Structure 1
Amino acid sequence: MTAARFPRAVLFDLDGTLLDSAPDFVAATTAMLAARGRAAVSLEQLRPVVSKGARAMLAVAFPELPDTARDGLVPEFLQRYEGLIGQHAVLFDGVADMLDALDADGARWGIVTNKPEYLARLILPQQHWQDRCAVLVGGDSLPQRKPHPLPLLHAAQLMGVSAPHCVYVGDDERDIIAARAAGMRSIAALWGYRLAEDDPATWQADTNVEDAVSLQQASQWPTFPAMPGSI
């Protein structure tokens, strides 16, 4: 009987999937609120919307402002976040060992995130990923971003892998929508960020996984057809 192997190519979302970046975002919003003489929002308030992006986080911090006014705060938010990126963020439990297991099995992995690419690239050296991450596609790298499949398809192309031989792992419904549209297998990372009303059971991921520790085992990943030229 052939032992289970990891997929040959894996793409990950970043915030809420690999990295628990919510504490950094709390620090950024706290600085913005303090500059305006206002009290900070809590980690519990901000955490559920982190995967929804900067505007969703600003909506929690400044609920009284109209959308247009909050849009004007996005550059300040990103600037403050860039100034402290990585100071409070940590990898989710099991992520480091999961990536080690992928590397040890000869799998290649990369990141497709809606975070601006210049910010995502700052994370790589902090986690010593710059020589391990095969590809990084940010939310502003291409004309489209998730849930559009283009970023996933582009990342797979850069890795030299066809979409059906790749799996995408993410904690938000848009991640699963993008994977399905790209023709990739998908894993819903249930350890990530989501609103109370979000129901991952309706996302139609190929697999729902409770924690990254489980993904240290090749048997927990979707199975794939053999890649051309593989043994």
Structure 2
Amino acid sequence: MNHEAAVRFPKAVLFDLDGTLLDSAPDMLAALNVMRAARGDAPMPLSQLRPHVSRGGQAMLAAAFPDVAMEERSGWLQAFLDLYQQELGKHSGPFEGIEAMLAELEAAGSVWGIVTNKPEYLAQLLMPLLGWESRCAVLIGGDTLPKRKPDPLQLLVAAERIGIAPADCVYVGDDERDIIAARAAGMASVVALWGYRLAEDDPIAWQGDRMIEAPQTLCAAAAWPHGR
């Protein structure tokens, strides 16, 4: 690969949503605290919830209600999602540096999209709130297809829908499942270290192609990995 090719932005970048593009934990917290208040529990602090957000709704319910049996909590998911929908976009926004990074990608002619394990209807509702509905080239949720991350199916279908080979795409995510899915799809990967992680997580062990501390770093073409 010549130097000129090495410093180009990728042809396409696919992103995880929660904990990667969007600091959505405050909206999740507001919904969970409504549920806690209904049970007479004190509000949960944001710091207690944040590490669990990328693990999904059941993990967040477990963090918010550790003394409730899993069998009981498992039936609360839809109630949580309904409350979260009411809070959608009220307390959250893109991480600092995300909008600048997306603008650089767009200016370079790169295509970008979202592949998330969040239910598709909730992800779609967020797009106009963020001003991304006409900018995001593809959006695939956790219930769009029969399989989801860490399975590569979502990433492969996203690449097909935007008409770009997986080897020419980069996937950015803050969870090990993101990096496993990217590797299985034949995509280069970026570990978003600014996202949500448990204390025991070891992002080095995930073996992503790049580990990036802040979105602003990705405003430079040289910061991006290229085809696997």
Q: TM-score with structure 2 length normalisation?
A: 0.97
Verify: 1:65 aligned to 2:68, yes or no. Answer: yes
Question: 75, 92, 104: which one pairs with 2:95?
Answer: 92
Name the counterpart of 1:80: 83
Structure 2: unaligned runs, 5 residues or longer: none
- How far does residue 130 in structure 1 lie from its aligned partner after superposition? 0.7
Structure 1 position 159 matched with structure 2 position 139: no
Q: Which residue of 2 aligns with 1:229?
A: none
Is residue 123 of structure 2 the alignment partner of residue 120 of structure 1?
A: yes
Deviations 1:80-115 (A, max 9, x none): 000110000121111000000000000000000000
Q: How far is 1:135 from its partner?
A: 0.1
**Which position in structure 2 is the counterpart of 1:220?**
223
Deviating above 6 A after TM superposition, structure 1's stretches of 4 or more consecutive aligned residues are none
- The superposition leaves residues 96-148 of structure 1 with CA deviations (integer Å, 9 ceiling, x where unpaired) of 00000000000000000000000000111011111110000000000001000
**What secondary structure, in the 3-state scheme, does the structure 1 residue paired with 2:179 have?**
helix
Q: How many residues align?
A: 225
The correspondence for 2:25, drawn from 22, 25, 28, is 22
Q: What TM-score comes out, normalization by structure 1 length?
A: 0.95
- Equivalent residue runs for 1:191-202 within 5 Å: 191-202=194-205
Partner SS for 1:115: coil
Q: CA deviation at 1:41?
A: 1.0
Quote the residue 2:15 is aligned against.
12
Q: In structure 2, how many angstroms separate the alpha carbons of the residues matched to 1:116 and 1:12?
A: 15
The residue that corresponds to 1:149 in the other structure is 152
Q: Which runs of 5+ in 1 are unaligned?
A: 226-231
Cα distance between partner residues in 1 of 2:169 and 2:62: 35
Amino acid at match of 1:150: L
Identity of counterpart residues, as a percentage?
Answer: 59
